[in-house]
Chain A
Amino acid sequence: MANVLKHLPELEGMELGYIQGILKNMDDEQANLFAQVYRARRKDNQMILILCLLGFFGFAGLHRFIIGQIGLGILYLLTAGLCFIGTIVDLINYKSLAYEYNMKIAHETLSMMSNGNFPTAQNGNGNENS
């Protein structure tokens, strides 16, 4: 059983608990690999917050683009963040936007590891997520 604080000490709150739940079925080597890939791919919630704040200067919706919601990104960009109302809501809500995206990335990483793209993680890793 791997400890999340050892491998990914920068996480906090809900995300910390979620990743701990994933890591508890892994040994240290697998957890190390998972932490490397996950750290490279996750989005920091401060970045979401800053991009969201850019919405007040005319570039609304950049945070929606960066977490993969292209449709909402275009809508925000062309309507000044739904007349600022959408931007303000996302300003309050930025942590759960980042959390939602990071959960998706964690599952992608897990399925990549269980598909055998990484030779060290092949043995018996695929059953905790599917």
Chain B
Amino acid sequence: MSSTQIKKPLGLQILIYGFVLLWFILAAFPFLWTVWGSFKVELDFFSKADWTNAISGARTQVVYGKAFTGAGYDGAWIQEEFWRAFRNTGIVCFFTVLTSLTIATLGGYALSRSGFRYAFWLLIIALIFRALPPITLVSGYLLPFFQWNIWGILPTTIIVLVAINQPFTLWMLHSFFQKIPKELDESAKVDGCTQFQAFKHVIIPIMWPGVITAGLFSFLLAYNDFAITAMLLSQENQTMVPKINSFMGTTQTEGNVMFAVAAVVSAIIPLFILVMFFQRQLVSGLTAGAVKG
């Protein structure tokens, strides 16, 4: 089809490119601006005096003698040990995604094959849970966690994140598995496979699109979470987002804001790599999954 695609009229072509360009600017500009600004001093970045300072770096030149400085990065990564938060985020994300996907894959498959109409109730639970503002939950968790002495450590946070996101992933994968025709694994069973073998040989090879999508959602949740990680982790176990927030704090000290900006840029880079790496799988995966349905 794409090879035989009919030629678009020039006007439409321009319209499309214009629209995409506009969206590109809207979507990317704030981030490019931040990247640029992260090499300046605070007064230039905020440029309360005159916005052109943010481009030319007037104050930065006064302080450092040049228009760019790595002071923000130096402060964030070396002085404030941002790498710790980076590592913690890595751990939290990895285990959250792993656990919630394992449960959701097995659970979603089992539920979708069991005939009973779980889906609706799963959906309800998932909805209620997404509807409940996380801060309410956290305030409920705090006291028992302190009493059991499990506050502040990474596993607790991982379990909470998994629990909050689980109904949603379960529901997503459940619907996904339901789209895979039952005949597929039934025919495998006819060929003498057990239910588990059928799952292993028939379902696993074609389930990746759904799993990747669900995984991406739980990854983003864990990566970006603020309400839960800010309240449940002790200082040395903090993940990136609360750490960035603590750079800004209630009473900003000189330069700390630029640590935050530099840290924001640093926190986007892994996402950059991730999306670069997964986008093909994601889209082709989504496509393949839906086509199978």
Asked if A and B bind, the verdict is no
Give chain B's interface residues, CB within 8 Å of chain A: none
